[in-house]
Amino acid sequence: MTLKHTLKTALIGLTTNRSRSLLTILGIVIGITAIMLVVSLGAGAQALILGQVQGLGTNTIAVIPGREPTGPSDVSALYSDSLKIKDITALQNKANVPDLKVVMPTVFGAGTAAYQANVYQVTIFGATEYLAQIFDLKTNNGDFFTSDDVLSRGDGVVIGSKVVDNLFGNDDPIGQKINVKGKSFKVVGTLPPTGGGSLFNFDAMILMPYTTAQDYLLGIKYFNRVIIQTYTDAQVPATAVDIQKTLEDSHNITDSTKDDFTVQTQQDLAARLSTITSALTWFLVAVASIALFVGGVGIMNIMLVSVTERTREIGLRKALGATDKDILTQFLLEAVMLTAIGGIVGIILGAGLSFIIAVGLSQGLGVNWTFVFPWSGAAMGLGVSALIGLIFGGYPASQASKKSPIEALRYE
């Protein structure tokens, strides 16, 4: 029997019981759709996160207090007050870090802002006059605070769009006084909506000189982060080494394994986040693949039922000259075709749902969530679905090919 004839016979066998065939492939469709969704949304989330990280500029270096944890018992290393004003002074010395362009200490904390009867929970973010330059921020009304404000611990603040909406509504906030933790501050600038999807949600922030935040609101003498920029991307690796050496000298550390700070480049952060998001995505893919396994078991059960119901057909075909190989090939083709159709439908459905969700997230959250067609998920879906057809269809096909033609023709 030719392959063409065997394929035609398999198609007839599937279309004879369409309802059963549709229910059989449902498990495969669900499994492939889930895989497509997970891979596509995972890729979209990874692109969003990496885009926000790279938005700071590839010539940016962050210094974080506390050494990088090496295990669960080392989490306390994250909490440290190791970065002080003496470190900023040392870093600003060109003899120590010759390629340093800008150094910006930052502090942050939570607080409640009030204006008249309106109250809103905000993030307090203290920095220097370089804040707008480093984060590429522009006010839609008013101006940022200046270096003189940093030196004099000025009371001028810049507020995000959500703070404006919740405290002032349609009123003009410029020049108005707001109360934060019992202290009065003057609004000198406002920010347009940034989407709130970045690593720094400026929409819900109050930006002020770090000296003001330290002395009047947070009551600390250390920094939560120090952000540094070099002149060019090529200077980042050498500058990161210079920063580490300078801070070790400032902290009297001779063993780098005892560092009470962490120097992190944007490339390092992007690589780590990429590894984390990829690992999480493929873990979820493994979980979603359970549906494929369940679908495969369903196919095997349905095929076994089909073999039993079609015993007389098998006997008649064998009596007319069909070989065991022909019967085996026919039932294997039926199983593979079921899973292949399920795989194709799952890919189309998964891609469509992923696109709809990506658009919904972009509009609903106000973030730049891009749709990514998961070619790897599609290829894996088709490959796995065909493999499932071969594996779970093999046993029923083998059982069909072993039936005796005489006994099959006697079957009632």
Q: What pLDDT was estimated at residue 51?
A: 63
Residue 243: predicted pLDDT:
93
State how far the Cα of 3 lies from the Cα of 325, in Å rounded to an integer. 11
Sign, Cα dihedral of 292, 297, 301, 307: positive
Report which residue type is found at 11.
Answer: L
Tokens of 230: 């070099």
Tell me the β-bridge partners of 392.
none
Tell me what pLDDT residue 75 has.
Answer: 45
> What's the confidence (pLDDT) of residue 353?
87
pLDDT one-digit tens code per residue, 168-199: 988 999 999 999 988 999 999 999 987 654 45
Question: How many C-beta atoms lie closer than 10 Å to residue 72's C-beta?
Answer: 6
pLDDT of residue 271: 66
The pair of three-digit structure tokens given for residue 134, joined into one six-digit string = 């480093």
Average pLDDT over the chain reads: 79
Cβ-based neighbours of 176, under 8 Å, separated by 6 or more: 115, 168, 186, 187
Q: What residue spans define the domains of the chain?
A: 3-53+271-410, 81-259
pTM for this prediction? 0.60
3-state SS class at 240: helix
Query: What value, to the nearest 5°, has the Cα angle with vertex 46 and ends 235 and 354?
Result: 155
pLDDT given at position 176: 94
Angle formed by the axes of helices 266-309 and 375-401, nearest 10°: 20
Residue numbers of the chain with a pLDDT score lower than 50: 1, 71-77, 197-198, 408, 411-412
Nearest Cα to 354, choosing from 51, 30, 33?
A: 33
CB 145 within 8 A of CB 154: yes
> Count of CB atoms within 10 A of residue 325's CB?
11
Please state, in angstroms and rounded to a whole number, the distance separating the CA atoms of residues 163 and 192.
11
